Structure 1
Amino acid sequence: MRTITTTDDLAEFCRQAAAGPYVTIDTEFLRERTYWSKLCLVQMALPGDGEAVLVDPIVGGEEMSLQPLFDLMGETGTVKVFHAARQDLEIFHHEGGVLPEPLFDTQVAAMVCGFGEQVGYETLVRKIAKGAVDKTSRFTDWSRRPLTDAQKAYALADVTHLRVVYEHLAAELDRSGRRGWVEEELDVLTDPATYVIEPEQAWRRVKTRTNSGRFLATVRELARFRETYAQERNVPRNRVFKDDALLELASTKPASLADLGRSRLLLREARKGPIAEGILQAVADGLAAPREDWPEVDDRRDRLQVNPALADLLRVLLKAKAEQAEVAQKLIASAADLDAIAAGERDAAALRGWRHEVFGADALRLCAGEIALTAQGTEVRVVPV
């Protein structure tokens, strides 16, 4: 197994990859102690029995540039194949400002091909490649060097078996005519906005139990400060303060260091220094925000008048349609989607694109009383009314 530690060697391998129809890619990283993932290793494999390599940016150090890899991401003639790509793509977007084009995610493809919801890589390797993945190195510290032979073998297995998995799923999608379904799902992963967290919008990630405008304004300012502080210093946001402490601060509205000292949930490090100063300023800014600047919560879903009987019928229809199409139910529609449709909403994702073809069209007909559901043995059938 070859480990690449120089820019020239990486550039040569990427030139070979760019000449082929696809390349399989995976990464190993750490994120427990940082805001941004620390890239520790990149694995890549060429089609068929082609070479598989490890790219080691840690051993390569500052003299090694990953630019050839970032350039490969933009080679439109070569499909970049990942499994569960989101975290890998976040790294490429942050490190190199690039996202792969075109992209193929075997986890998404597997759901479309009937392998269940969020199917794991080991399952696909076992069912498709008839192989096995040694899990003993799964929780290793990938930042430590030297890597053992077992670690290297584990890392390479993430891209060598992936070749067989990809070719099988790609052929199945072409056979079924569902490649467009996967491409539609990948639009989110290839959208740069997916990987950008704006501090001004960070408050939307915090679950609150009240829609009070002034309270939410304080939550917004605290979340904005926390996100900015975490990004600038590259520390996990929960190391600044956790959500439960944020909500406590928004409720108690501390105005001094003495007030912060009485917090039950605030970490000791956050009761002094720049974090404490930032908290007090954020609370003050939240309390001073004018009414017209208070955040607005979209509570339409909470106010929906759901018809429970219709929602139950939609669940039966979804199960039947998912089994018929051999597609994971959750990929077609969520429970929230079904409730929204049963309440009269018509902008649910389940009513658009390929989902409309598989489920949405009949869901609307069911809501309109144009069809009914009958059971024959274990099979649920749709019949016109």
Structure 2
Amino acid sequence: MITITTTDALAAFCEKAREADYITVDTEFLRERTYYSKLCLIQLALPGKDEDDAVLVDPLSDGLSLDPLMEVFRDESVVKVFHAARQDLEIFFIDHGTIPKPLFDTQVAAMVCGFGEQVGYETLVKRIAKEQLDKSSRFTDWSRRPLTDAQKTYALADVTHLRQIYEFLARKLAESGRARWVAEEVAILTDPETYISRPAEAWKRVKTRSAAPRFLAIVRALAEFRESYAQERNIPRNRVFKDDALVELASTKPQNHVDLGRSRLLLREARKGAIADGIIEAIKTGLNCPKSDLPTPDQSREKLQVNPALADLLRVLLKARTETAGVASKLIASSADLDAIAAGMRDVPALTGWRHEVFGADALRLCEGRLALAAKGKRVDVIEL
């Protein structure tokens, strides 16, 4: 097993990679104690079976620059193959400002090819490569050095089997003409906006029971402070204060440190110092927010007049169409999307792009009374009216 620890060795491997049709990539990282992921290991494999076609790259090695790998990531003549790429791509974008292109995500491709919902790598190895993975090293500390042989073997398996999986799925997509479907999904993964976390928008992830504008203004200010504080110090946002404490603070509106001391849910460390000062200032910001700037939640879907019978018919249609097409239903539409369509909304992803071909066009005709569904044994037939 080859472990690259110098820039020259990485550059030599990457020179070889730029002559290949594709390269498979995976990472090992830690995020339990930080806001941003700490990259601990990169696994790379090229087409072929030679020992030097699959390597480990140790980004924790002194003096190692990942610039040669970033050049490969930007080389559009080489396909970059990942499985469930989102977290890996976030690391490379945050650390190096680079998103690998062109990208092939085997989890997305597998969902399009009928392998089920969010199919795991281990399942694909078993079903396509006919191999078993030893996952005993999955939850080890990847930042500790030296790495054990078991860790290295586990890590390399995440890219060596990926070669066979990629080649199999790429053939399936070419045969079915569905490569464009995967490309539409991958476009979201390669959009930098996917990985940008703006403190001013953090409040939208906080679940609250009240939608009162002034209350939400305080929630917004607290969430913005917490996100900025966590980003600046690279600590998990829950280490600052958790969502339940945030909602409590927005409700009780403490004005000083004595008031903060009465909180039931606030961590002890947050009742003093910079966090306590930030909380008090954020609450003042929310209380003093001009009426014209008060936030309002998007309640458009909550006010929808859903036809429950039509929503149920859409669920049956989705099941019928995805079974015929061999595509995971969740990739096309969520339950909320189906309710929205049944309520008359048309700006729903299921009605655009490749989803329109598989399901959306028929869904609209069903809503317009131009399609009927008939059960025949275990089969559901779609009938033109």
Could you tell me how far apart the structure 1 residues matched to 2:160 and 2:207 are?
41
Runs (4+) of structure 1 exceeding 4 A deviation are: none
Could you tell me how far apart the structure 2 residues matched to 1:17 and 1:270 are?
49
Could you tell me how far apart the structure 1 residues matched to 2:49 and 2:75 are?
21
Report deviation, 1:162: 0.2
Question: Could you report, residue by residue, the CA deviation over 1:103-145 in whole angstroms, capped at 9, with x for unpaired residues?
Answer: 0000000000000000000000000001111010011000011
Name the residue aligned to 2:206: 206
Could you tell me how far apart the structure 2 residues matched to 1:12 and 1:299 are?
55
Could you tell me how far apart the structure 2 residues matched to 1:14 and 1:208 are?
49
Letter of the 1:55 counterpart: V
Letter of the 1:43 counterpart: Q
Name the residue aligned to 2:191: 191
Name the residue aligned to 1:309: 309
Report deviation, 1:69: 1.2
Could you tell me how far apart the structure 2 residues matched to 1:2 and 1:350 are?
45
Give the alignment's TM-score, normalised by structure 2: 0.99
Aligned pair 1:155/2:155, yes or no? yes
Could you tell me how far apart the structure 1 residues matched to 2:119 and 2:25 are?
18
Name the residue aligned to 2:55: 53
Could you tell me how far apart the structure 1 residues matched to 2:244 and 2:369 are?
46
Letter of the 1:305 counterpart: Q
Could you tell me how far apart the structure 2 residues matched to 1:239 and 1:298 are?
28
Question: Could you report, residue by residue, the CA deviation over 1:72-100 in whole angstroms, capped at 9, with x for unpaired residues?
Answer: 11000000000000000000001110001
Task: Provide the aligned length of Structure 1 versus Structure 2.
Answer: 383
Supply the RMSD in Å over aligned alpha carbons.
Answer: 0.6
Question: Could you report, residue by residue, the CA deviation over 1:238-284 in whole angstroms, capped at 9, with x for unpaired residues?
Answer: 00000000000000000000110000110000000000000000000
- 1:118-267 paired onto structure 2 within 5 Å: 118-267=118-267
**SS of corresponding position for 2:188:** coil
Could you tell me how far apart the structure 2 residues matched to 1:14 and 1:259 are?
58
Question: Could you report, residue by residue, the CA deviation over 1:322-373 in whole angstroms, capped at 9, with x for unpaired residues?
Answer: 0000000100110001000000001111000000000000000000000100
Report deviation, 1:71: 1.4
Could you tell me how far apart the structure 1 residues matched to 2:371 and 2:46 are?
50
Name the residue aligned to 2:377: 377
**SS of corresponding position for 1:187:** helix
Task: Report sequence identity in percent.
Answer: 69
- 1:245-324 paired onto structure 2 within 5 Å: 245-324=245-324
Report deviation, 1:48: 2.5
Name the residue aligned to 1:7: 7
Report deviation, 1:384: 1.6
Name the residue aligned to 2:96: 96
Could you tell me how far apart the structure 1 residues matched to 2:14 and 2:244 are?
46
Could you tell me how far apart the structure 2 residues matched to 1:208 and 1:74 are?
42
Name the residue aligned to 1:84: 84
Report deviation, 1:211: 1.3
Could you tell me how far apart the structure 2 residues matched to 1:73 and 1:189 are?
14
Name the residue aligned to 2:38: 38
Letter of the 1:329 counterpart: S
Structure 2 gap ranges (5+) = none
Name the residue aligned to 1:16: 16
